[in-house]
Structure 1
Amino acid sequence: MAKVTCVDISEFQQNIDFNKMKNDGIKAVIIRAGYGREASQKDNMFESHFRNAKNANLKIGVYWYSYADSVSDAEKEAKACLECIKNKSIDMPIYYDLEDSSQIKLGKTKLTEIAEKFCETIKRSNYKAGVYANLNWFNNYLDYDKLKSKYSIWLAQYNSVNELSCDIWQNSSTGKINGYGRNIDTNIIFNESVFDKSKDEPEKEKANIPDIFYKVRCNGVWLPEVKNLEDYAGIKGRAITDIAIRVSVGKVWYQAHTKSGWLPKVSGYDIDDYENGYAGNGSKIDAIRVYYTTPQSLANSLGKYLVAKYRVSATGNEYFDWQHDDQTTNNQDGYAGLFGNSIDRVLLVLE
């Protein structure tokens, strides 16, 4: 039997370690972008799943769950899907998920027309298009041969063999894959051409990773600004009370923790702005949290989303482990530092 190399996920699957999945042989993930006629019905986990799968260097496809009961509805669903995936680099076809019981009454001819309208609308935006359905639907409610002649076919059939020719076979809804602790849909990819670039895009010059700049205050004095890892910010043995961070491209927010707890998040860089220009209130800082947001155009150019990578040292002691954004998986704490122990040095970079 061919090997499972793909999973499909939605907001109902959370806390996924995509790197562990990749190490377990998964090379592609198909993510639900949303459902229905409105872009406001975007899947709640789409952005997070997309970003994390991209960072794990997995191939990405998307699907859109249909409730359409007319051809015009199908066009609206396609446009909603396109709005939700706008400016994203998709590696696989955009699949139309047809399985809702409310649609059965429409009959094979109408449902096939609905599928065609969605797929043709998708194709006009230079994406590949496909249809997802189970064996019963392809046999009884859709014109399988007609759809297969024009679009990619993703078949759901939980059996030891697939009874229809397809590009992707969803062979189980109770799969077990490292990186996710519950049952998950697994898929076997028969046609590797689904990985041909889903959207025709001109070659772009590789972008540079932005710079991150930061400075700290200790003993009432702001120290010189530091860029990336060219130096550290701080003086060994002198507790830091305030920190300011900025980036050359994108957005960053950050927080400081003191004995009184987490101070408000800030995103500015102005030592004269007590509200949003820096993190701190003059008390000794014992932990910081930093989060970087990559512009979509930059992520497309780099082929990944960047994170803030940072570490701090307890006053007079060695550095703690590196942290990445506010992540709490893979032995990450979600912040750098140790509550109750002031910090004296900071290192920051984007990667």
Structure 2
Amino acid sequence: MPSPNVVDLSEYQTKTANGKMDIDFADLKANGIQAVILRLGHGNTRDNGVEHFIGQAQRAGLVIHGYHFYEAGINNQVEWSIQNAKELGLAANAYYFLDMEGKLPGNWPEIFRAFYRNWKMAGWNVGLYASLSKYSQFDLNEFKTNEVYKWVAAWDAEHAPEIADVWQYNCLTGLGKYSLKVDKDVDITGKLIQKIEAPGKLETDPDGQYKIKAGAFVGFDYSTTDIIGGKMLVSSPNGVDKIPKLGPDGSFFFNREDAHRMLPYLKDFITQQIQAARLLTWDDIKGKPDVVLRSDLPDFNQFALKKDLPAPVDLSGYAKTDVVDAVKTVADKAQAIADTNSKLLETKVDRKDLPTVPTDLVHSAELDQVRTDVSQAQQDAAQAMANAKSAKAAIDTSDEFTVKKPSEYSEGFSHELKQVAAMIPDRSGLDKSAQAGSIAVLSTMSYGNYARQTLKVLDSQRPMTFIRNGSGDTWYPWETVTTTITVD
């Protein structure tokens, strides 16, 4: 039975006895424990009692590391985990592990990559906790390149797995005075039990005295790689291999090590760009469709609905205009005769006995024009309302992980902020430049039963765009759209 030098604790060990938590950190240290890995949170919830654990472990002189338990379906876990660890005071250069267990949906390497890259930028060492069988999903060469610490759970193994840096071998018994179940670990590589040193100052002196390997040089020659042809600026670490650095077309070439060296200088800028992208407004978006905002529409309360219009006036009791005109003509002639023969007419007829012509009639042409104007106003209002319903005034940031079907989009245009890993889980078969970036703006144009989507990656060095079509409940494969010429 191995002897543990590390234990990992969570709120499950916050049982109380006599009003106090019954974890005795000094007793743990007396039983060979040198470091603790504390669960800082799960999903977007802080662990109960973790602040107490941190204080007690510090007083006992134990080295403190942390881990975050990943929960599927919780948005913004990466950002929340960083803020939570900073608020709890997880030291720079301490190890921060992601705990991935069970039947989690999605691409595990992509999920973990989003966490560990951002954690490294925040100043922590990084690691993964998973069972031995789950490690087959991950690229261990990537772990080696990025110094990912492998925390492997293998309870039935007699010996530590070969890939393990730290081995969790038992959780069924207590330790020292603590009689309940507790996870026990062996730090094989030994980095967890070392005292955490403050981050060292990066060497930035170009005139410093550095060791040069025999035969190494920088100069103009033909590359021994297949990246590009022609004579170019190359570097050789050994005098034999010639790695391109500046191509004949003016393009620069960088490798992973270059990226790691530049990251400390770029991380503040990258963080600012990501934060700025999350604050995009409608006015910041270029090439958006010509739409009308709801605030630009007139007050529809000033219009009447067709069903609310009054019923037409009943004109059945009135004479037609041509009859009225004929009556007026006859009346005019009668008046003329009456004027010339007034005395004779006065003896024949009384003026009050003449018919009275109505004076409040409306000409039919005027009535038809009114009806036409009201009908046109109703059509304009209906079209404006349809345009308003189809317009989207901002980027939807409420859900970065859900992938909707084409049929779930309403007609018109929409813009959403999405995690690239949720939209395109596996980019391993693409060029390396097309695998970069984790956050993108998803634009959808929907009409009838068809939809087209454009996914524009925001946090990659090279501008990457993916497009696809869909119909009904089916999306067709993504295709890449990118530039091929860099502008100086």
Structure in which a larger fraction of residues adopt helix: 2
Which structure has the higher relative contact order (CA within 8 Å, separation 6+)? 1
